[in-house]
Amino acid sequence: MRVIRAAFASCLFLLASAASGDQDALNYLYEPAMPEEYENLLGRMMVHARNAEFEDAINVSQTIVDGAEPLQQNDPTTYGMILTNHGILFTAAGDYELGLSILESASAYLELRTNPFSTEWMNHIMATALAESGLGNLTDAEDTFRRAQHITHRQNGVYSPDQISIINYITANHLKSGRVIAADREQRFTLRISEQEFGPDSPEMLPILTRLGSYFATRGSTMPVALPAEIRLRRDLLFKDSVNMYERAISIIEDQYGNMDLRLLGPLRGMASARLLQVTNRKYAENALQRAMAIVNANPDSDVGDQARALIDIGDLYVITSDRKASQYYLQAWNLLQDSEETRLAATQFFSTPTRLHPRRDDVLYLERKPDAAKNGEELFAELQYTVSAQGKVQHVQILDKNVPNEQVRILRGRLRATRFRPRIIDGEILPTEGLILNQKYHLLSEASLIPDDPDAPIKGNMESGYVDWAEQTCSGSGCAGR
């Protein structure tokens, strides 16, 4: 039996579970013009929704829907918006099926008097696509997102920046279904849109370039170095794209603000992160972080926090690359942060417990078949205890409990020993930390294919960890706006 790492499988890109709903849908609530008594109810509903008080929001929304029944004949467009809001609330609360059903009913009213290419449709269409995506109807969701995108094209042209949020949702759907090359293609299109809108060398390109740098590095990191030449070449190209994005951002900042401006810190750190993830070019990560530290030290606008962060970044790099110089940088940072009560709190946040550095998070692991010893429905797991040394390495790994085969535990122990942590510091002393627990979950993989024959076909399985960082930057709480 083989264990299948999440990095070899397809891409799960869920920002919110079905239990918590997709609160991005709240970005598409309508605010139609209504009589004063309903305006007050609408305001209450909005407040409850923004506070995630969905039961209260739905109750208020139901009152609005009931009271607005005369609008079915008199003003079906407004009634459709009211009903759309009702469906959005159920979607945000996690009841995608009911939410979608209500949204479908709302569309019948909007269709009566609303031009099919009117922007008045946009909120309804986006909410519908999110509900479809939440249900796992990814093909339907993409078609619906494409409808929204088509409206932006009709209204503002093929390169309308209004479509970037839609493209990021389409990217997310591609990643969910494992169509990674299609996802990459969508992200490259956002670059073209932004260049058309702002100009390739505009400072307004900076957030787009750094976001795409993170995306391409994260994508590349999900493809291990030890792969066939064709796949490895694709991996190298992704990292090349990532580095190019950061280099462009650095060049824009240097041209606009000078080569010692603090704005350089973001892309320099992004560049270092990309090089670390790339593995084969880690020496360039040190150059980027050393330059970041020189900028911080030379800039009169930097503070103790900036200086400590620069030191910690280099310390983290040295831990990951097993360089003993890490300790001196950590201690310098810790000493700097003893300056005030506020900075001492920051020191506690950085150093009170070991911080996992590489790999960034635990992958879900996959088994091709259920172990013979495991009962039906029983969660598959291995629980290990370990120590993080003062150098950030894992030592003294012990098995506490398991229901997966010994072969899988040996693999897991090897993975854990290769993990690197920022060690803790107590009273100015770097200390080992004993008794840490890893409870590793395993899932069954129904199909064992790892790399598809068709390079744009879905890869089986799950690659959640590879996309979480990009997801958080790109989509969390912002409608995947990316701008």
- pLDDT of 363 reads 66
Identify which has the larger pLDDT, 261 or 449: 261
- pLDDT of 208 reads 97
Which 3 state secondary structure label does DSSP give 387?
A: strand
- pLDDT of 443 reads 84
Q: What single letter denotes the amino acid at residue 442?
A: Y
pLDDT, tens digit (0-9, with 9 covering 90-100), for 39-48? 999 999 999 9
- pLDDT of 360 reads 76
**Eight-state DSSP code of residue 469:** H
**Eight-state DSSP code of residue 412:** H
Of 198-207, 216-225, 235-244, 439-448, the range with the lowest mean pLDDT is 439-448
- Confidence bin at 224 (pLDDT 50/70/90): confident
- Assess contact for 9 and 462: CB atoms under 8 A: yes
Q: What's the token pair of residue 243?
A: 């580095």
Long-range contact list for 341-346, CB < 8 A, 24+ apart?
A: 343/304, 343/305, 343/308, 346/305, 346/308
Element of type H or E holding 174:
helix 164-177
10 has pLDDT over 80? no
- pLDDT of 323 reads 94
State how far the alpha carbon of 303 is from the alpha carbons of 159, 265, 298, 395, in Å.
41, 14, 11, 36
| CA–CA distance, 399 with 190 (Å, rounded to integer) | 47
User: What contacts 318, CB < 8 A, 6 or more positions away?
Assistant: 324, 325, 326, 329
- Assess contact for 189 and 161: CB atoms under 8 A: no
Which 3 state secondary structure label does DSSP give 4?
A: strand
- Assess contact for 91 and 100: CB atoms under 8 A: yes
| CA–CA distance, 244 with 470 (Å, rounded to integer) | 17
- pLDDT of 456 reads 43
- Assess contact for 87 and 109: CB atoms under 8 A: no
Q: What's the token pair of residue 285?
A: 């990560």
Q: At 399, give phi and psi (nearest 5°).
A: -90, 125
pLDDT, tens digit (0-9, with 9 covering 90-100), for 241-286? 999 999 999 999 999 999 999 999 999 999 999 999 998 888 899 9
Q: At 437, give phi and psi (nearest 5°).
A: -120, 135
The residue among 358, 270, 343 whose CA lies nearest residue 305 is: 343
- Assess contact for 58 and 90: CB atoms under 8 A: yes
- pLDDT of 372 reads 75
pLDDT, tens digit (0-9, with 9 covering 90-100), for 361-391? 766 787 878 887 777 778 899 999 999 999 9
- Confidence bin at 446 (pLDDT 50/70/90): low
472 has pLDDT over 50? no
| CA–CA distance, 449 with 364 (Å, rounded to integer) | 17
| Mean pLDDT value of segment 120-131 | 97
Strand partners, 382: 402, 440
**Eight-state DSSP code of residue 27:** G
User: What contacts 122, CB < 8 A, 6 or more positions away?
Assistant: 28, 148, 151
Q: Residues 9, 13, 17, 18: what is their CA dihedral angle, to the nearest 10 degrees?
A: -90
| CA–CA distance, 7 with 20 (Å, rounded to integer) | 26
56 has pLDDT over 50? yes
Q: Chain-wide mean pLDDT for the chain?
A: 87
| CA–CA distance, 61 with 332 (Å, rounded to integer) | 56
11 has pLDDT over 70? no
| CA–CA distance, 21 with 195 (Å, rounded to integer) | 34
Strand partners, 422: 355
Which 3 state secondary structure label does DSSP give 386?
A: strand
| CA–CA distance, 342 with 249 (Å, rounded to integer) | 32
Neighbour count for residue 149 (Cβ, 10 Å): 20
Number of residues assigned to the chain: 483
